[in-house]
Amino acid sequence: MKAELIIYNIRKLYTSVEKAPVKGYSMSRIQMIPNAFIAVNDGKILEINSGDFKNYINFSTILIDANHKICLPGFIDSHTHLVHAGSREDEFEKLKKGVPYLDILNNGGGILGTVDKTRHATFDQLFSKAYKSLDTMLLFGVTTIEAKSGYGLCLETELKQLKVMYELNRKHPIDIISTYMGAHAIPKEYEHNKKTFIDKIKDDLVYIKSSNLTNLVDVFCETGVFNIDESRDILQKALELDFKIKLHADEIDPLGGAGLGVDLGATSVDHLMAISPKDIKALAQSNTIANILPGTSFYLNKAYANARSMIDQGCAVSISSDYNPGSCPTENFQLICQLAANQLKMSPEEILNAVTVNAAYHLGLSDKIGTLEKGKDADIILLDIPNLAYMFYHFGINHVTDVIKKGEVVVKNKVIQRGRK
């Protein structure tokens, strides 16, 4: 079969060849093809090989010379809080001076400050801000993200966020997997009546399900937010309604959120800075992904999750940005990968598996993306570096020059090509 597009002259092509979830020692295995080409047809990968590609060319084939760059699958950022209003740089200054977070919260800041701004923002304001962030993510090589609601804490604004994500998914090259996270915090109006708020979330889940805007539910299981029993209560209702589930788990205190996630069959448990040794063992025995967010540890100047121990004990790890205005305000996904190398002590191979194949797995996208192989979506990035390890060494800058999404060139020489979607 002839190709619509061929990318050739690739110095080295790296991709996972492992079946997801990629666990433990297997995370250090990837494939490298030197002097490679990729032939693409109808948005999907037709062939990957080294050497001659003449058989795939006809008069209409578009040829892209990779100029000895390296090639990777598009990055998948599998945990973001993309859609929100406002920013919190004033809070950053206070945090640095040692003002306690609770004081900030009580003065109208923190997560409830973002909730207030997001409730008052129009659809267009939320859309424009998030679209701009997606552009930056795309330039850094991200081709798919997960994005959570959770800055509404009332059905109306949660739906507004989810509808913004739906529209962004239609109009921006990056694919967005949406998650409902009405259980992100306790809103002021339910401050003294958490039980009623939980019942309200459970009722809202029925409506959210019927809206068809998302098939995923996340809960913030943490001291001062939702405890283990409350998290289980909400998540069991979500499971009854046939949602897939995730948890923000064991970020500050070792409550056992990761273990709860394993018990309930969560697709991922996220953060895990305070995970217990018992729950690491439980995770390793499961297909739940340990989704680690090193950008949050960096920004808040807190301990990093023990990814090394998790991988060494056989867990499947993914790495995400947690992009949000309060604890990780950056869209630079390569920096997140570099923190995984520098602070989590993960190898280049482990990180590649973490941000491609394992991320795709817990978002339910394994059959479409996460690896460069025949039949999968042609989500491809080119980087102007000599080898994979160099990406983690030369940090803080953008190495991605070109991004191909479903076979279309959406970034060329670091410039976004408009007109798609």
Residues that bind Zn ion (CB under 5 A): 322
| Number of other residues whose CB lies within 10 A of the CB of residue 323 | 28
Smallest distance, Zn ion to C-beta of residue 248, A: 5
| Least CB distance to Zn ion at residue 203 (A) | 24
Q: 78 or 144: whose CB is closer to Zn ion?
A: 78
Compute the C-alpha angle 22/25/31, nearest 5°.
65
Cα separation values, 99 from 14, 92, 326, Å: 45, 10, 15
In the sheet that 244-249 helps form, which strands lie side by side, from edge to edge? 75-80, 142-148, 175-183, 216-221, 244-249, 268-271, 289-292, 317-319
Contacts of 178 (CB under 8 A, 6+ apart): 146, 147, 148, 149, 162, 165, 166, 169, 213, 214, 216
The smaller minimum CB distance to Zn ion, of residues 175 and 322, is found at 322
Q: What is the C-alpha to C-alpha distance for residues 409 and 192, in angstroms, rounded to an integer?
A: 52
Q: CB 115: neighbour CB atoms within 10 A?
A: 22
User: In whole angstroms, how close is the CB of 206 to Zn ion at the nearest point?
Assistant: 24
Nearer to Zn ion, 322 or 379 (CB): 322
Measured from the CB atom, the residue of 222 and 322 that comes closer to Zn ion is: 322
Q: Which is nearer to Zn ion, 70 or 234 (CB)?
A: 234
- Of 17 and 303, which CB lies nearer to Zn ion in the complex structure? 303
Give the length of the chain: 421
CB of 88 to Zn ion, least distance (A): 15
Q: Distance between CA atoms of 416 and 396, rounded to whole angstroms? A: 20
Per-residue DSSP letters for 327-346?
A: TB----HHHHHHHHHHTS--
Residue nearest to Zn ion (CB): 322
Residue whose CB is less far from Zn ion, 41 or 179: 179
Quickly tell me which residue has 């040692």 as its tokens.
98
User: Cα(221)–Cα(204) distance, rounded to whole angstroms?
Assistant: 19
User: Smallest distance, Å, CB 8 to Zn ion?
Assistant: 40
In angstroms, give the least distance from the CB of 186 to Zn ion.
Answer: 16
Burial class from Cβ neighbours inside 10 Å (0-12, 13-18, 19+) for residue 79 reads: buried
Shortest reach from residue 164's CB to Zn ion, in Å: 17
Residue number, 16 or 297, with CB nearest to Zn ion? 297
Question: Least CB distance from residue 80 to Zn ion, whole Å?
Answer: 8
**Are the C-beta atoms of residues 235 and 228 closer than 8 Å to each other?**
no
